[in-house]
Amino acid sequence: MLLVDDHPIVHEGVETLVSRDPTLRMCSRAHSAHEGALIAAREPCDVVLLDLHLPDSSAPQAAMAIRAARPGVKVILFTGDARRSAALNLGLIGTDGFVHKDTACTSLVTAIRDVAAGRRFFDSTLDLESEGPLSRREFQVLQRLAMGESNAEIAAKLGLASNTVKSYVQALLARMDARNRLEAVVNAQQAGLL
């Protein structure tokens, strides 16, 4: 397992926990997304425990970089943020699991084992509403909103009808609990989505 988290105390705690279980092995640890991708490229690991909020990258970008460096690796989001916005990341990066940092130690061990075995694990503290995580298309529209593009520009670049983009934008506003496009982008950035 590779741990990617910018807090030294988290490194120490997870390493201590993993060392107590003979079925788990911590191959390495990184303090940034960049360092995590470099380590993943050179050291074999089955599971990456990835902090949702890293100083140098959003969670989707970090997961993509790590997966590019180590194809097939499983990713568990590990965060102190149990809000709905954190849950949206699951769909964006195809996360294999979600573990809240307040979870019991046994739940973290179970999550690592389950994900390593090819199962998904979602901490019970995760606040998933009925509508589920963002789709890839919703994420693409959100990225374009962050670039300040109009509905017409988004439609042209994504090959969609203008009314379809309008529907996506309205759905994103509701899902991001935002009154306007700017607020949706700000909320997405605060949630680590962008």
pLDDT in tens, 62-98: 888 999 999 999 999 888 765 555 555 555 556 788 8
Q: Tell me which DSSP letter residue 45 carries.
A: -
Report the percent of the chain where pLDDT is more than 70.
87
Domains delineated in the chain: 2-122 (3.40.50.2300), 136-190 (1.10.10.10)
For the chain, which ranges sit under pLDDT 70? 81-94, 124-133, 192
Distance CA(168)–CA(6), nearest Å, equals 34
> Which strands make up the sheet holding 28-30, listed edge to edge?
28-30, 2-4, 47-51, 74-79, 97-100, 121-122
Q: What are phi and psi of 92, to 5 degrees?
A: -70, -35
pTM as predicted: 0.67
